[in-house]
Amino acid sequence: MFCIGAFLLALGSIHLDRSGAAEMIASNSALVPARPDGASTMLQVIAGSMIGVAADVTPSFPPAGIRAGRLFCA
């Protein structure tokens, strides 16, 4: 169900881009377009969040934490 919804949203966004509606959205001052440096920052935030979650989850599983510690510290 989610896959079909994502596919339809992708088709809709491609249609908006090709029909010129993207220019109207880009000219809106309330929306800030994502530039390459913004995309890089967004990926850094996501990676940092994933590392934070991994750091919180690892102590919950002591055997896995010990094995991982031996693997990386050896």
Please state the pTM of the whole predicted model: 0.39
- Given a cut of 70, is residue 31 above it in pLDDT? yes
- Given a cut of 60, is residue 39 above it in pLDDT? yes
Surface-to-core class of residue 52, CB atoms within 10 Å of its CB (0-12 exposed, 13-18 middle, 19+ buried): exposed
Residue 41: its pLDDT value, please? 87
Task: Find the Cα–Cα–Cα–Cα dihedral 61, 64, 69, 72, rounded to 10°.
Answer: -140
% of the chain beyond a pLDDT of 90: 23
pLDDT in tens, 50-71: 888 877 766 655 555 556 556 5
pLDDT in tens, 3-14: 999 999 999 989
